[in-house]
Amino acid sequence: MLSERRLQVLRAIVQDYVGTEEPVGSKALTERHNLRVSPATVRNDMAALEEEGYIAQPHTSAGRVPTDKGYRLFVDKLAGVKPLSSPERRAIQNFLDGAVDLDDVVGRTVRLLAQLTRQVAVVQYPSLTRSTVRHVELLSLAPARLMLVLITDTGRVEQRMVDCPAPFGESSLADLRARLNSRVVGERFTEVPQLVQDLPESFDAEDRGTVSSVLSTLLETLVEETEERLMIGGTANLTRFGQDFPLTIRPVLEALEEQVVLLKLLGEAKDPGMMVRIGHENAHEGLTSTSVVAVGYGSGDEAVAKLGVVGPTRMDYPGTMGAVRAVARYVGQILAEN
Amino acid sequence: MLSERRLQVLRAIVQDYVGTEEPVGSKALTERHNLRVSPATVRNDMAALEEEGYIAQPHTSAGRVPTDKGYRLFVDKLAGVKPLSSPERRAIQNFLDGAVDLDDVVGRTVRLLAQLTRQVAVVQYPSLTRSTVRHVELLSLAPARLMLVLITDTGRVEQRMVDCPAPFGESSLADLRARLNSRVVGERFTEVPQLVQDLPESFDAEDRGTVSSVLSTLLETLVEETEERLMIGGTANLTRFGQDFPLTIRPVLEALEEQVVLLKLLGEAKDPGMMVRIGHENAHEGLTSTSVVAVGYGSGDEAVAKLGVVGPTRMDYPGTMGAVRAVARYVGQILAEN
DNA sequence: AGCTGGCACTCGCCAATCCGGAGTGCCAGT
DNA sequence: ACTGGCACTCCGGATTGGCGAGTGCCAGCT
């Protein structure tokens, strides 16, 4: 167990390093934080911290730099979440209030987050899996061709084509539309399958095939549409990384373009609280020199999607966490208001 | 007017520089291209080309590098468009054929272009302005609240909320839906306003307000939705730019995030042929060290949107142009098949 | 025991210097 | 009109030396 002062020293190192981007030495530490001990003492503490693996020196006889383990301790024990200033909060609210549709909400959120944290922002579109059905619409495009439109409570719209095994009359269509909606509107996606399974039986034999096609397409859409989409922004902030550029930035850009990777990453943010992944804690190789801060957001009590930022391990964790949390809350509000 | 040989020299310089990324000298030129003259002669030609502003030397006594003007001449007069190999074409077709919906088509196109050209790809969603209405759907969400869904022939779906001044019955709704569709389906967006302007008159006085609301929302959607969306990809390819990174890459990333800028840029690609903007020909400041190759694509004979790539001025123009053109054609086909 | 000041030592960084080589422009000769 | 020769320029990389920041250790103090 580390003594109280050693923890203070670690905290000071993290803060200074984040501020200056340069390895921090014992003398500078004692000057900038009133630790009330001499540099020599701090040196001893640093040696101990290094022994434990919380800090490291880039080269012999340079200052110390926090390791991933050091940041981890800092985040878990030494720092809180820094709340935003109230002007900032007002700015967020104003900015998000101007959104006209779901795409716009997500787009604005990305820009906001990127600007606020000066890092790369990632926002997942509200997932279909947790949300409820607002409306199902059926349109006849051709005698044996339907379009199925699914509208969710988060304002998302998905459409699918359905090829009918047999022509399907306008009246049957209206009938199916009405029955379908009366059963599934307001229901969770997970409930839908059992709610509609007996529908084909109540139709004439000739229409039954088409009804089944429609239903299976609907179910497919509900399930398979866990193929979540996401939007990223603020990649220009990557240029603030360091100057050993090509090597650092490249894998990150590549990882960001692999939506699968990002979705998996965000998916690991479990519902309660905020996820902070530091450096090598990230499974993906391209992100081992970055940290990810993510949190779920939702229109109601439950998270329907995630959002977060990707930045250098050397980031302002309290500030970033505060911004991410605040944005998530406001987006949730906006979605709830619909 | 430059002599034939001088043009050959310019072509050789461009080709070599694109290949090696290093200023090219007179000796290397004579070795790699059989110009059948001595280095000294080439030097004279180079001096003349420099005099005319087609090439420049980074520092006294280094090789020559093409200027924007030099590239321009190269593209206009000295090089054609390099067709893709047939395996490449097959690969394109296969890859695009797997797309399931419009988002997927655009997403795949972006990835394809980025991979093929090893540059940043930009693809604009098919524009609404040129396309036709496939279907208009009206849903009643609440007594005085409708949802308007517009489906285009390119598979795009837009939805809008409509607040009604008065409750609107189910039968009126069906009536409006039917009349609306019979008038506008298959029509160009530009035709729609005059086709529907007399619609409110044929409704009861109490419904007229709602009908007007619906129509004005529809027209808004048609017009205002020239707010085109686009997708970009392959930003990781920016790392191949050079090593003077932060300064070069930063403004480009910033420009890429400004959709307005990109849309304006793509908009400048006039219908016939391909647009090539080289270096300072680009209005936007962040893109003055890049070249843009763009072309329109469409489901039929007419272009409905643009796609292209952004890369260093030092790029393989013939190859890039070939890839862009080929991809545009195949995407057009896919859209036409719908 | 824990803290402190002192001291010798280690290295990375920076600036200055040097040198080789590639490339040029010019000129005289064919 | 082209070519070979030649002197010149200047970039880039390698080398060097000095500086300073930072360290570890130790002896002494509280």
pLDDT above 60 for A226: no
Q: How much is the pLDDT for A164?
A: 86
Of all residues in chain B, the one with the smallest CA distance to A237 is B250
Q: How far apart are CA B251 and CA B248, in angstroms?
A: 7
Is B227 within 8 Å of A233 (Cβ atoms)?
A: no
Q: Specify the higher pLDDT residue, A323 or A165.
A: A323
State chain B's maximal CA–CA distance in angstroms.
90
Is A274 within 8 Å of A295 (Cβ atoms)?
A: yes
pLDDT above 90 for A104: no
Could you say which of B103, B229, B235 has the minimum Cβ distance to residue A257? Answer: B235
Quick one: CA torsion of B290, B295, B299, B305, rounded to 10 degrees? 60
Could you say which of B159, B238, B250 has the minimum Cβ distance to residue A157? Answer: B159
Q: How much is the pLDDT for B294?
A: 96
Residue B119, Cβ neighbours under 10 Å: how many? 28
Q: Specify the higher pLDDT residue, A61 or A147.
A: A147
Which band of pLDDT confidence, cut at 50, 70 and 90, is reported for residue A224?
low
**Interval A254-279 mean pLDDT:** 88
Q: How far apart are CA A220 and CA A238, in angstroms?
A: 38
Q: How much is the pLDDT for A117?
A: 96
Collect all residues of chain B within an 8 Å Cβ-Cβ radius of residue A229: 103
- Inter-chain CB proximity A135 and B137 less than 8 Å: no
For the stretch B90-146, pLDDT in tens is 999 999 988 877 888 899 999 999 999 999 999 998 876 667 888 888 887 777 888
Q: How far apart are CA B172 and CA A25, in angstroms?
A: 78
Q: How far apart are CA B262 and CA B324, in angstroms?
A: 17
Q: How much is the pLDDT for B128?
A: 65
Instruction: Please give, chain by chain, protein residues whose CB is below 7 Å from any atom of strand D.
Output: A 23-28, 39-40, 43, 46-47, 50, 57, 61-64; B 5, 36-38, 40-41, 44, 59-62
Copy the structure tokens of residue B118.
């090893």
Q: How far apart are CA B160 and CA A101, in angstroms?
A: 8
For the stretch A271-325, pLDDT in tens is 678 999 999 999 999 899 899 999 999 876 677 789 999 999 999 999 999 999 9
Q: How much is the pLDDT for A55?
A: 93
- Inter-chain CB proximity A149 and B147 less than 8 Å: no
**Interval A41-62 mean pLDDT:** 90
For the stretch B238-251, pLDDT in tens is 887 765 555 678 88
**Interval B163-185 mean pLDDT:** 87
Of all residues in chain B, the one with the smallest CA distance to A234 is B257
B35 touches strand C (CB under 7 A): no
Torsions phi, psi of B305, nearest 5? -165, 175
Q: How much is the pLDDT for B15?
A: 94
Distance between B170 CA and the closest CA of chain A, angstroms: 12
Residues B80-91 as b/e (b if ≥16 CB within 10 A, e otherwise) read ebeebeeeeeee
State pTM to two decimals. Answer: 0.81
Candidates A332, A275, A279; CA nearest to A301 is: A332
pLDDT above 80 for B183: yes
Among the ranges given (B59-63, B212-216, B316-320), the one the predictor scored with the smallest mean pLDDT: B59-63
User: Distance, angstroms, CA A61 to C1' D17?
Assistant: 19
- Write out the residues of chain A at the interface with chain B, using a CB-CB cutoff of 8 A: 101, 103, 134-135, 137, 139, 141, 147, 149, 151, 157, 159-160, 229, 233-236, 238-239, 243, 245-246, 249-250, 253-254, 256-257
Among the ranges given (B36-40, B142-146, B278-282), the one the predictor scored with the smallest mean pLDDT: B142-146
Helix (H, G, I), strand (E, B) or coil at A28: helix
Question: Across all residues in chain A, what is the average pLDDT?
Answer: 87
